[in-house]
Structure 1
């Protein structure tokens, strides 16, 4: 049996795990929503809704980056980190979209990204080359990762994901400070803790590969 054949079933594990994570996220959201005290739901212009929409987009790219690197390296440490990111952020993304659904709000908006944080995207950040928000990889960087292999792919992924997490932590902290819905605040707090922990891990992984923590 060839190496590719032996790895065949394993290549599908992240997809199955992400699907399971989404199912668990929906179940968890239903349970939390059922236990929530009665009160007015956030409106479309709230920090809660803005955070849910923007972080869902941010998480989607993190999942995409993680799937790409799993195809570009056989390093088990990097593949394990990517697998964890896929499952964690697919789960959280499902919860964010589920919240919008529960509130009866659209999953997209005509408002600029991060306007709910008081950011002026004309002066604070200029979307470019597919990177809609701070920390997001550009289309060019995604193409570079798809073409890289081995250690080069590992280092590029870790650098891109470090920037992605750094901006994600800033956004999640914004939700902790500005959101009103208790579930949103707790979810954002968990993101801050989890992504800070992964940033420390990625700094160590980059150092072990003779690279820094920035692009």
Structure 2
């Protein structure tokens, strides 16, 4: 039987090269032609291993994440909070990850490993399987949203820190009509926007949002136990 020539690249090579391009220049720079050039191959050679750019993006989205770290000892709340912060840290290493379209539930090896880790954090709770999945998917949505907003705000803060503190409060006082937006006007009058913003405020906002999420899960668990 005649053996075919062994390919010089495979899907893993293509994915690694695409990630290297995204790390250096952003996701917009990734194309099949660009990745082929990085590998020293013809563009059509890539299509023997990766069917389309969409498939490449899916492979990149899975490979870009680190392996989930071991969960610490503790109760479900401590373990799940640790997991959420680990997801945030992994995303922040590669902000372009958030630009990859999500077309379905997790199927890649690393994505499933993160999914498994979160489900393990909920072991010992009275939640049924469907509720556990709902908690994990809801928390993932929260983390992704906070990461997207946090990274965007962090860039804006670096460019113009003053726009996030008293300057913002002053602008709101000029823009907001208390008769049309009484709730916003009440917050402005409280002075919450009259202090200078700090770089750590985004992290504090994440922690507060995570605390509220955990409180909601805890209340649901308490109702089930009752």
TM-score (norm: length of structure 2): 0.30
Larger RCO (CA under 8 A, 6+ residues apart)? 1
Question: When the two structures are superposed, what TM-score results if normalisation uses the length of structure 1?
Answer: 0.31
